[in-house]
Amino acid sequence: MTSVRLSEIRKFYGEQSALSNVTLEIEDGELMVLVGPSGCGKSTLLRAIAGLEPIQGGVISIGDKAVNNLPPHKRDVAMVFQNYALYPNLTVFENIAFPLRALKTSSKVVSEQVEQVADRLELKHLLRRRPRELSGGQRQRVAIARAIIRNPAVFLMDEPLSNLDAKLRIQTRQEILRLQRNLNVTTIFVTHDQVEAMTMGTRITVMDGGQVQQVGTPYEVYHRPANVFVAGFIGSPAMNLVTASLEVHNDKTPLLYRGDGVWTLARVDVDSSVPARQVVLGIRPEDLTLTKEGSGMMTGVIDLVEYLGSETVVTVKVEDRDWLVKVSGNQKFSWGETVHLTATPDSVYLFDVSSGVLSGTLAEALSPATEPVEV
């Protein structure tokens, strides 16, 4: 097995910085997912590891060897692209065998290894076909088989599922997961799809603007976002974010946030000396409770109802701001209804208003422990 270490990687296109001091370590046998919006630098970083993009600074190490000055074919990596990159005039057998042919491997060994890999990926019945006779999912499996047969130290996958329809994407995603687990090969997987990132990654690297925003397990990235960008990018629907002021009444109750109006988030028993401060407040849609009766921290009017089967996403307009709420698909809400929103203190995230860095939850910011609003 092989680890990959990146130290202070810098890449420029003219005066435009594409990668800014990227430092990252991918452990032996890990499936690391690089995720972020278009233009964040994730594919550029992958291509730099492969040797397809020169870098202007930093060190790329594969195993114990710095590979900055090595050409791609000497880095012991195999890359799977979004567009499959198959040879249309060759059969599936010859496409898979191509890397071994290039190494002048004997015909007997080539046949044995192609048969083994094809059997593993359920391609044996397709070996005599050409790419034009295959479905999108089958073509992608052929591309993966061609990468596997080289027995590389590291797999690099650049959005390999993007061209597949929804059903094939799920199936191929599961196949890649099983394959990576069985082979236990260090794998770096690039995607812009956060569902792929959350379901596939041993760990996730969230990127934006050529910089690493956070590295962590899917659980850590979702439940403990490092900053406002990660909080707003990871999660579907995205976290509700709003700038507000944290204040405590002189009589110590209740705790108020002032932004678009006055919101009573929790009744507390805290020292009134807790300083008022500007924060970015974040609440995930599934952490908001929606009720038609009683009261809550906010009151608004339902603007949209999106029924998704097992769950429903409700857009509630409070003053001039939309709040997204995720509820069970069994709950029924209608456009135009007046509703009340409530959240518990431990589900309310507080971010520094200047840096955007997570400072903790509302529950952590206050002492003693807070209680939810009684409705």
For 182-199, what is the mean pLDDT? 94
Highest mean pLDDT, choosing among 21-35, 74-88, 316-330: 21-35
The per-residue pLDDT for 108 is: 94
The per-residue pLDDT for 184 is: 92
For 114-142, what is the mean pLDDT? 91
Tell me which CATH homologous superfamily contains domain 240-372. Answer: Nucleic acid-binding proteins (2.40.50.140)
The per-residue pLDDT for 100 is: 92
Tokens of 17: 């910085």
- Contact predicate 53/13, CB 8 Å: no
Residue with tokens 């609440």: 283
Confidence band of 369 (pLDDT split at 50, 70, 90)? very low
* pLDDT tens for each residue of 119-132: 988 899 999 999 99
Does the pLDDT value for residue 368 go beyond 70? no
Give the lowest-confidence range in 10-19, 219-228, 289-298: 289-298
Does the pLDDT value for residue 297 go beyond 60? yes
Buried b (16+ CB within 10 A) or exposed e, 178-199: ebbeeeebbbbbbbbbbebbbe
Separation CA 98–CA 88 (nearest Å): 13
Does the pLDDT value for residue 371 go beyond 70? no
Backbone φ and ψ for 170, nearest 5 degrees, come out as -65, -45
The per-residue pLDDT for 249 is: 61
Greater confidence, 328 or 164?
328
The per-residue pLDDT for 255 is: 53
For 6-14, what is the mean pLDDT? 97
Greater confidence, 251 or 309?
309
The per-residue pLDDT for 364 is: 83
Tell me which CATH homologous superfamily contains domain 4-233. Answer: P-loop containing nucleotide triphosphate hydrolases (3.40.50.300)
The per-residue pLDDT for 372 is: 44
Separation CA 151–CA 3 (nearest Å): 15
The per-residue pLDDT for 150 is: 86
Give the lowest-confidence range in 23-37, 91-105, 170-184: 170-184
- % of the chain beyond a pLDDT of 90: 66
Does the pLDDT value for residue 1 go beyond 90? no
Does the pLDDT value for residue 253 go beyond 80? no
* pLDDT tens for each residue of 222-252: 999 999 999 999 999 999 998 887 776 655 5
> Structure pTM?
0.88
Tokens of 350: 């507080």
Tell me, yes or no, if the two domains 4-233 and 240-372 fold the same way: no
Does the pLDDT value for residue 295 go beyond 80? no
Strand ranges for 42-95 from DSSP E? 57-62, 65-66, 77-80
Tokens of 84: 């499959």
Strand ranges for 159-235 from DSSP E? 186-191, 203-208, 211-216
Sheet holding 321-328, edge to edge: 289-291, 338-342, 298-307, 311-318, 321-328
Backbone φ and ψ for 150, nearest 5 degrees, come out as -75, -15
- Contact predicate 179/7, CB 8 Å: no
Q: Residue ranges per domain, the chain?
A: 4-233, 240-372
